[in-house]
Chain A
Amino acid sequence: MTPTRSEPTVFVIDDDPAMRHSLCWLLESEGLAVETFATGEDFLRTCDPDRHGCLVLDVRMPGLGGLGVQRELAARGIPWPVIVITGYADATTESRVRAAGAHAFLKKPFDDELLLDVVARAIEADRTRAGAP
Chain B
Amino acid sequence: MKSDSPLGAREASDPEERLRLLLDGLADACLCMLDAKGRITGIAGTLGDAHVPSRAGSLLGAPLARLYGAEEVAAGEPERDLAAAARERRHESQGWRRNLAGETIWAHAVITALPGGDGRAGAYAVVLRDLSERRRAERALQESEARYRAVSELTSDYAYAFRIDPDGRVVVEWVTGAFARITGYSLDEMQELQSVGGGLSIIHPDDQPIALARVQRLVLGRADTSEFRIVTKGGEIRWIRESGRPQRDGSGVLRIFGAAQDITERKLAEEEARARQAELAHVLRLGTMGEMAAGLAHEISQPLSAIVSYARGCTRRLRSGRLDAADLLQPIEEVAAQAMRANEIVQRLLLFVRKQKPARERIAANDLAREVINLIVGEARERGAKLELQLASGLPVVEVDKIQIEQVILNLARNGLEAMQTVPPEERTLVIRTSATGDGCVEFTVADRGEGLAADAVARVFEPFFTTKRSGLGMGLAISRSIVRGHGGRIAARANDGRGATFSFTLPGASGP
A88, B297: Cα distance in complex, Å: 6
B305 and A22 contacting across the interface, CB-CB below 8 Å: yes
Q: Quick check: is A61 within 8 A (CB to CB) of the other chain?
A: yes
Beyond A21-B334, A22-B334, A29-B313, whether A88 also contacts B301 by CB under 8 A is yes
Beyond A19-B306, A21-B334, A109-B307, whether A60 also contacts B298 by CB under 8 A is yes
Q: Which of A88, A90, A112 is within 8 Å of B312, CB to CB?
A: A112
Q: Quick check: is B384 within 8 A (CB to CB) of the other chain?
A: yes
Measured CB to CB, the closest approach of chain A to B426, in angstroms, equals: 6
A30, B316: Cα distance in complex, Å: 8
Nearest residue, chain A, Cβ from B308: A109
Chain B contact patch, size range? 35 or more
Nearest residue, chain A, Cβ from B319: A29
Q: Quick check: is A16 within 8 A (CB to CB) of the other chain?
A: yes
Q: Quick check: is B382 within 8 A (CB to CB) of the other chain?
A: yes
Beyond A22-B334, A110-B305, whether A61 also contacts B312 by CB under 8 A is no
A88, B300: Cα distance in complex, Å: 10
Q: Which of B293, B300, B312, B384 is within 8 Å of A60, CB to CB?
A: B384
Interface set, chain B 286-310, CB cutoff 8 A to A? 293-295, 297-310
Which of A62, A85, A115 is the most central at the interface, judged by chain B CB atoms within 10 Å of its CB? A62
B381 and A108 contacting across the interface, CB-CB below 8 Å: no
A60, B307: Cα distance in complex, Å: 19
B425 and A22 contacting across the interface, CB-CB below 8 Å: no
Q: Which of B298, B306, B331, B425 is within 8 Å of A86, CB to CB?
A: B298
Measured CB to CB, the closest approach of chain A to B326, in angstroms, equals: 14
B312 and A26 contacting across the interface, CB-CB below 8 Å: yes
Q: Quick check: is B109 within 8 A (CB to CB) of the other chain?
A: no
A28, B310: Cα distance in complex, Å: 11
A30, B317: Cα distance in complex, Å: 8
Q: Which of B313, B320, B426 is within 8 Å of A64, CB to CB?
A: B426
A87 and B299 contacting across the interface, CB-CB below 8 Å: yes
**A18: B residues at CB distance < 8 A:** 302-303, 306, 334, 337-338, 341
**A108: B residues at CB distance < 8 A:** 298, 301-302, 304-305
What's the dominant secondary structure at chain B's contact region? helix
**A107: B residues at CB distance < 8 A:** 301
**A23: B residues at CB distance < 8 A:** 309
Nearest residue, chain A, Cβ from B327: A25
Nearest residue, chain A, Cβ from B298: A87
A108, B301: Cα distance in complex, Å: 6
A60, B301: Cα distance in complex, Å: 12
A108, B309: Cα distance in complex, Å: 11
A15, B381: Cα distance in complex, Å: 9
A29 and B316 contacting across the interface, CB-CB below 8 Å: yes
Measured CB to CB, the closest approach of chain B to A74, in angstroms, equals: 17
**B384: A residues at CB distance < 8 A:** 60-65
Q: Quick check: is B386 within 8 A (CB to CB) of the other chain?
A: yes
Which of A22, A60, A63 is the most central at the interface, judged by chain B CB atoms within 10 Å of its CB? A22
Beyond A26-B312, A29-B313, A63-B426, whether A88 also contacts B302 by CB under 8 A is no
A60 and B306 contacting across the interface, CB-CB below 8 Å: no
Interface set, chain A 18-39, CB cutoff 8 A to B? 18-19, 21-23, 25-26, 28-30
Q: Quick check: is B380 within 8 A (CB to CB) of the other chain?
A: yes
**B310: A residues at CB distance < 8 A:** 22, 25-26
Instruction: Provide a sorted-by-A list of 20 A–B residue pairs whose CB atoms are within 8 angstroms.
Output: A19-B305, A19-B306, A19-B309, A22-B308, A29-B312, A30-B316, A61-B381, A62-B385, A63-B425, A64-B425, A86-B298, A87-B298, A87-B299, A87-B302, A108-B301, A108-B305, A109-B304, A109-B307, A111-B308, A112-B313
